[in-house]
Chain A
Amino acid sequence: MSASFSQEQSVVVVIGSGAGGGVLANALAQRGIDVVCLEAGRRLDMSEIVNDEAAMFGKFTWLDPRESSGQTIPGFPAWTCKTVGGTTLHWTASCPRMQAHEFKARSTYGAIADTTLEDWPLAFDDIAPYYSAAEQLMGVTGTHGIERLPGNNNYKVLEAGARKVGYRQIDTNNVAINPTPRDGRGACLQTGFCTSGCVVQAKWSTLYTEIPRAEQTGHFELRPECMVTRIAHDDSGRANEVHYIDAGGTPQKQKASAVCVAGNAIETARLLLNSSSDRFPTGLANSSDQVGRNYMRHMIAGVVGRMPGEVNIHRGAHQAGIIKDERGYNPDRGFVGGILMLTVPFAPEIFAKFLQPNGWGPEYADILAHYNHLAAMLIHGEDLPQASNRITLHEQKVDGYGLPIPVVHYEEHPNTAKLREYALARGRSVYEALGAKDVYDMVNVFPATHNMGTARMGSDRKTSVCNRWGQTHDVDNLFVSDGSLFTSAGCENPTLTIVALALRQADHIAGRVGRGEL
């Protein structure tokens, strides 16, 4: 059963309960380490998860105010989640591993102007066993003898078009979605609502895996609807207390032996910046001035084909379909970084809003009237780190907790523009090869869902925030445990790598606890 800890007891405090925080907290609790997990969002009951995109958006989205700057969606630069389970409620469960060369981005790509590109302080071989453990934990298809999902209509269109244009690496992806019942969770029913929370729990989410399992250890307490306002430290500069506002709006403090921040890249950076003190005047763990910088999201664009026959795109698992031929390093294309093309469905409302951001009139309505003929893919491309792409604190505006709101600034690097043009042309060709009546691009319309790099790992404490274990260079017992750690972005959905890093960090922290260092 769930533990209940005194606020005076020094425990490991994990901030956030998603892919990073939820996995780390459970891995520590399973080893008998006492953990309090502070989660800003509410714990949804499974009965509240319904097949209704608009309703679920309202239930789990992080809607506290954020300011946008540069090439971001006004007022909503990123779609993150404020709920127990974090973005594992909303994710598509797409779990490709990053490629070995992507951990050596600087060495592989060379010097690129106006970037802060670095190699990761760990190699693929270091993370490989944790990739394997993460896949096992989440039940990733196509790994560990777990069969792949069957392809839906949208996948069959993608596959057929891809073969016609000469692609060969096409399959139904590695997804953390059960094809058959496994690990106490049901099998995928192809409901078509992956991103609205999975009613049958076929899709892995910490809400119904890591969190309840951690509670069963007796070493874990979840405190939902608790918004952390600052991480405090003692005279020696060690983190010793976490301040938060509880569900009733009352300020509280929890003593901490170690603190692990996993609030998604924007909130993690914001919390460190909001935790400035006399000793750390520019923010906690920010002597490098790198907290909040090097903010990466993937180049994300949609390609939509109006096909000659019915597709019924809304039926089935969202991203169980992938073309991997373009993911490698191939400078002959005129840019660095890889590209993935994945199936994606949208509801009529989303097509209506974004197929042409200002579209209206009879021709536009006619496209929408043929909703059941639309096929679509989402293209992910590697995004390069730039110092000027960053999270800062607003100088005047505060949110409902009284905390300065984050300002998210992002400008596209010229490499990204080249990558996008290439990827869109290739994506179009897939649908054109099948006789699409028309093909549409959806560019610069989506808020970022892959947020990375704002407290990055590195070997040099002057150009990074954390070391290879995710421990901050400046504060011995302060860790970052989410996508903020990414030194470079790769082109893959980040969650599998976040989970692998969390499992690796759990080993490290458990080792230090065992040696009496934490």
Chain B
Amino acid sequence: MKADGVASMPAARRTNLEPEQRREFLKLLGFAAAGSAAVLSHPLSLSASEADNWNLAGVDAELGLMLASIARLLFPHPELNDSVYVQVVRDIDADMGQRPDLAKLLQNMAATLEQQVGGDWLAASVPEQVQALKSIEGGEAFFYLRNRTIESLYRNPLVWQLVGYEGSSIEYGGYINRGFDDIDWLDS
């Protein structure tokens, strides 16, 4: 590996960080501290007043919070800040502009889920929420939400950093000198 190539790489391109470096690095990128009790005990730490400021066209604050909470329940990464899941809601909001039927589909789904947990979705426990989501797994709304959440989350460079996907490589000369064959745990 060329030393000068490594030195010129931006921090975000480095791999094999020490745990302490990695935590600092994630913090820089807007991740919550890994293992934060607030995040683990409840899927969402946002309030309705914050949601009021999202300025969405088709999703109101109540539905927005619910969708963000569902996104986190579907693909819960404790290290990820809520803002990453709020981006999923923004993408759903954009979809609504293209799909006239979507608002109704999600409103109906929200009503079903609220009924399942006995009213207030955000006040329900995580096991109650999970149980409710399982009851709608085969439906169109769930299929849409799972797919949309994946396309939003796992195309997000912040999530790539978390899982170790490095994205576009050509600007760094590919991996020919940057570890395409650096595996070190196989027996020779």
Contact flag A349-B180 (CB < 8 Å), given A189-B173, A315-B175: no
Contact flag A54-B155 (CB < 8 Å), given A153-B181, A190-B180, A315-B180: yes
B183 to A316, Cβ gap below 8 A? no
Contact flag A51-B168 (CB < 8 Å), given A308-B185, A368-B154: yes
Contact partner of B180 (CB less than 8 A), chosen from A316, A348, A365, is A316
Q: Is B165 an interface residue (CB 8 A)?
A: yes
Q: Is the interface of B mostly helix, strand, loop or mixed?
A: loop
Q: Is A127 an interface residue (CB 8 A)?
A: no
Of the listed stretches A192-200, A452-460, A472-480, A484-492, chain B binds: A192-200
Q: How far is the CA of A50 from the CA of B160 in the complex (A)?
A: 17
Q: Is the interface of A mostly helix, strand, loop or mixed?
A: loop
Q: Is A312 an interface residue (CB 8 A)?
A: yes
Q: Could you count the A-B residue pairs with CB atoms below 8 Å apart for me: how many are there?
A: 127
Q: Is B135 an interface residue (CB 8 A)?
A: no
A191 to B183, Cβ gap below 8 A? no
Max chain B C-beta neighbours (<10 A), residue from A52, A192, A315: A315
Interface residues on A, range: 35 or more
Give chain B interface residues in 154-188, CB to chain A under 8 Å.
Answer: 154-155, 159-160, 162-170, 173-176, 178-187
B175 to A190, Cβ gap below 8 A? yes
- A437 CB to closest chain B CB (Å) equals 13
Across the interface, which residues of B come within 8 angstroms of A315, CB to CB?
Answer: 166, 169, 175, 178-180
Interface residues on B, range: 35 or more
B75 to A199, Cβ gap below 8 A? no
A311 to B75, Cβ gap below 8 A? no
B175 to A316, Cβ gap below 8 A? yes
Across the interface, which residues of B come within 8 angstroms of A364, CB to CB?
Answer: 75
Across the interface, which residues of A come within 8 angstroms of B165, CB to CB?
Answer: 314, 347-348, 371-372
Q: Is B151 an interface residue (CB 8 A)?
A: yes
Contact flag A434-B186 (CB < 8 Å), given A51-B169, A191-B170, A349-B150: yes
Q: How far is the CA of A193 from the CA of B174 in the complex (A)?
A: 9
Q: Is A362 an interface residue (CB 8 A)?
A: yes
Closest-by-CB residue of B relative to A370 is: B163
B181 to A156, Cβ gap below 8 A? yes
Contact partner of A372 (CB less than 8 A), chosen from B77, B146, B163, is B163
- A99 CB to closest chain B CB (Å) equals 30
Of the listed stretches A203-211, A236-244, A353-361, chain B binds: A353-361
Contact flag A151-B150 (CB < 8 Å), given A51-B167, A190-B175, A316-B175: no
Contact partner of B163 (CB less than 8 A), chosen from A191, A193, A360, A371, is A371
Q: Is A160 an interface residue (CB 8 A)?
A: yes
* Contact flags B121-163 to A (C-beta < 8 A → 1, else 0): 0000000001001000100000000110011011100011011
B76 to A365, Cβ gap below 8 A? yes
Residues of B near any A CB (own CB < 8 A): 15-16, 73-77, 130, 133, 137, 146-147, 150-151, 153-155, 159-160, 162-170, 173-176, 178-187
